[in-house]
């Protein structure tokens, strides 16, 4: 189902814009499908290039390191591997940022939706959009700056919910590192607590 113009979901703070979410294609592909702005594509390329430096530079430096020097050895065997793992993880998270996480529930669409809306109120999340099949909640990334947001996009169906988390910052949009896992744990726990 492609959302009609009256019920378009648009998140627009400074740079990120999500509109025309295609729910059927998103569920089928297990990935959030929407019309991307040119800036989102440019942002993704910039993040890939920037974080690939965390992989390439340490690899080149390790190749040139003098392992007889204790400082070079320490940096080459501890700091550089951490930078490489961090760079690879950021690239992976950016590539899979729009992948939908799935949570099975025993409830129908209406009950799932109501549980999620109650959860948003309890967690003091901004309910940005609410429709029959899609919810968008916003949460500040930093409590001192409300312009940087995490947007939780949730698709509500019978016996299942799908969600992803997108981040909107001023300069470039790094993906969430662990928040999506914490949210999945919270939502699973929430759904299990609601069982009769």
CATH of the domain at 177: 3.30.310
Domain extent for 182: 100-196
Q: Where are the alpha helices (DSSP H) in 65-79?
A: 70-74
Q: What is the spatial distance between Cα 45 and Cα 24, in angstroms, rounded to a whole number?
A: 27
CB neighbours of residue 37 within 10 Å:
15
Same domain, 72 and 129: no
Same domain, 116 and 190: yes
* Average of per-residue pLDDT values in the chain: 85
pLDDT of 130 over the 60 cut: yes
Same domain, 195 and 104: yes
Largest distance between two CA atoms of the chain = 68
pLDDT of 180 over the 70 cut: yes
Same domain, 130 and 47: no
Confidence (pTM): 0.81
Q: Which pLDDT band, with edges at 50, 70 and 90, does 167 fall under?
A: confident
Number of structural domains (the chain) is 2
Domain presence at residue 191: yes
Supply 10's token pair.
Answer: 């648009």
pLDDT of 172 over the 80 cut: no
| Beta strands 101-104 and 160-168, pairing class | antiparallel
């Amino acid at each position: 189902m492609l959302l009609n113009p009256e019920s378009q979901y648009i998140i627009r703070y400074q740079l990120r814009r999500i509109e025309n979410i295609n729910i059927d294609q998103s569920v089928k592909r297990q990935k959030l499908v929407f019309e991307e702005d040119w800036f989102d594509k440019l942002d993704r390329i910039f993040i890939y290039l920037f974080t690939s430096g965390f992989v390439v530079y340490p690899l080149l430096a390790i190749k040139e390191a003098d392992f007889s020097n204790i400082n070079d050895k320490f940096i080459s065997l501890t700091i550089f591997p951490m930078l490489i793992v961090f760079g690879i993880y950021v690239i992976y998270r950016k590539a899979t940022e729009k992948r939908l996480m799935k949570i099975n529930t025993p409830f129908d669409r209406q009950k799932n939706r109501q549980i999620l809306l109650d959860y948003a109120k309890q967690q003091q999340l901004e309910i940005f959009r609410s429709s029959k099949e899609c919810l968008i909640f916003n949460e500040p990334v930093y409590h001192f700056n409300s312009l940087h947001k995490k947007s939780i996009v949730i698709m509500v169906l019978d016996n299942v919910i799908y969600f992803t988390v997108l981040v909107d910052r001023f300069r470039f949009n790094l993906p969430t590192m662990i928040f999506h896992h914490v949210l999945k744990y919270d939502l699973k726990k929430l759904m299990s607590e609601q069982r009769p």
